[in-house]
Structure 1
Amino acid sequence: MNDMTVPTQALNVSLLTDEERTRCEVWTRVMGYHRPVTSFNKGKKSEHAERRHFVEGRCRLG
């Protein structure tokens, strides 16, 4: 299995209803400190939504 392969156990998940879900709070780093996204003004929320996220892969030596 390489870094991009999804284990088969991860595919066998049960779906939760809205009543079973727990609300989580998303925090992000802004100007050197962390803040919850819910406290952002309209412009900062828009900027946060436009961010591109990436996952850094492992490097292989040799």
Structure 2
Amino acid sequence: MKNTIDNNERQKCEVWTRVMGYHRPVSAFNKGKQSEHKERLHFQEKGA
């Protein structure tokens, strides 16, 4: 049984983000905005 996927079997995963109230794909951003998106820090809020 095969446990890994070859690179030729993979497909590109499109990342979306919320900007100014709208959901947009990051691939539609200009190069500067894409770079800014890569620098963002991700966090998780603690439950109440």
The question of a shared fold, defined as TM-score above 0.5 by the shorter chain, is answered with yes
The gaps in structure 1 that reach 5 residues or longer are 1-13
| 1:11-56 superposed Cα distances (whole Å, 9 cap, x missing partner) | xxx3211111122211100111110001100111011000111234
Q: Normalised by the size of structure 2, how large is the TM-score?
A: 0.73
Determine helix, strand or coil for the equivalent of 2:9. Answer: coil
Determine helix, strand or coil for the equivalent of 1:35. Answer: strand
Q: Normalised by the size of structure 1, how large is the TM-score?
A: 0.60
Greater Cα radius of gyration, structure 1 or 2: 1
Q: 1:35 aligns with which of 16, 24, 28?
A: 24
Identical amino acids, percent of aligned pairs: 63
1:25 aligns to what?
14
The gaps in structure 2 that reach 5 residues or longer are none
RMSD: 1.6
Q: How many pairs align?
A: 46
Return the structure number with greater helix share.
Answer: 2
Higher relative CO (Cα under 8 Å, sequence separation at least 6) belongs to 1
